[in-house]
Amino acid sequence: MSMFRDAVSMTALATVTKTALLELLLSVADDKLMLGHRNSDWTGLGPILEEDIAFSSLAQDEIAHAQALYELAATVDEHQRSADALAFARSPGEYRCAQIVELQDEFNWATALARQLFCDHFDHLRLGRLSESSFTPLAQLAKRLGAEEQVHVEHSDAWVMRLGRGDAESNARMQAALDALAPQAVMLFEPVQHIDTLVREGLYPVAGDMFEQWKQEITSVCTAGTLHVELAPPDPTVLGGRQGAHTSELTELLDEMCAVYRLEPDAKW
């Protein structure tokens, strides 16, 4: 059931544009697919029933968002791979997600929430930029996704503040999780490949300093929760997920997530 049957004439885009656009779309979709998968780890194991449901819903949202983005990516892929093939049939080095979404939280509730805080604010800001994209089908989709992502941001903010203001133990655990994940979190901002083309052609337009805005949002939530966080822009000499550098945890995650797909890649569901 494709949403993009007659979206635009994709053939009108130059090859160089399609290549850049695919990088961009995969980075967004891969972030969402892996984060959604990690969110689903909490199904049945959430600390309270509402959060069990919340993390299951977050997973459902993120994976649905990823699916729509892979469908769009399939329309600009020069190799004409299907959305399923893009999601499940690449080698680990071909994924473009940041490493923070592939790492396990080891069922540490504070780690799970710190990751949500960093990723949800980033995703929401990124969708805002994408909703101004010169690639109309992406702009329309991003606008819809942004409205849904807003609820995720609120959920993360509420819980980080709640734990920060809880008692000494919850505060200490939340603080430790923020400190541990902050260096990974800033790598969400590692530029995707062909970023110059994407910005120049208005596919991923610049709207102010996104890093500063993100830092400000995170800091204000932390301050309200009597927590603090140190965030510096990523070191441009460090290679991360946007360039295909991943941890062994991504390989393990893919082995689990793609187990059924790999049994019969051409199966129709």
Partner 1 sequence: MPTRDAVIELLREVPDPEMPISIVDLGIVERVEIDDTNVTVDILPTFVGCPALAMIQDDIIKKLRTLDDVDDIIVNFMYEPAWSVDRISAAGRESLREHGVTVPQGGSDIHSMIKQTATVPLRTSAIPCPFCESKSTRLDSAFGPTRCRMIYYCEACRNSFEHMKRV
Interaction site with partner 1 (CB under 8 A): 1, 3, 5, 50, 53-54, 56-58, 60-61, 63-65, 67-68, 140-141, 143-145, 147-148, 150-151, 154-155, 157-158, 161-162, 165-166, 224
Q: Give least dist CB 140 to partner 1, A.
A: 5
Structure tokens at 113: 């929430």
DSSP state of 237: T
- Least distance to partner 1, CB of residue 120, Å: 12
CA distance 158 to 39: 17
Of 162 and 200, nearer to partner 1 (C-beta) is 162
Task: List helix spans (H) across 48-194.
Answer: 49-76, 83-88, 109-130, 136-164, 168-185
**Minimum CB–partner distance for residue 46 and partner 1 (Å):** 11
**Residue number with CB closer to partner 1 (173 or 246):** 173
Cα 56 to Cα 36, 115, 218: the distances in Å are 9, 16, 24
Q: What is the dihedral of CA 23, 87, 132, 99, to 10 degrees?
A: -70
Residue 216 vs 232, nearer CB to partner 1: 216
Alpha-carbon span 170 to 42, nearest angstrom? 19
Least separation in angstroms between residue 192's CB and partner 1 is 22
Tell the smallest beta-carbon distance from residue 5 to partner 1 (Å).
7
Complex with partner 1: residue 223 or 239, whichever CB lies closer: 223
**Which of 50, 78 has the CB closer to partner 1?**
50
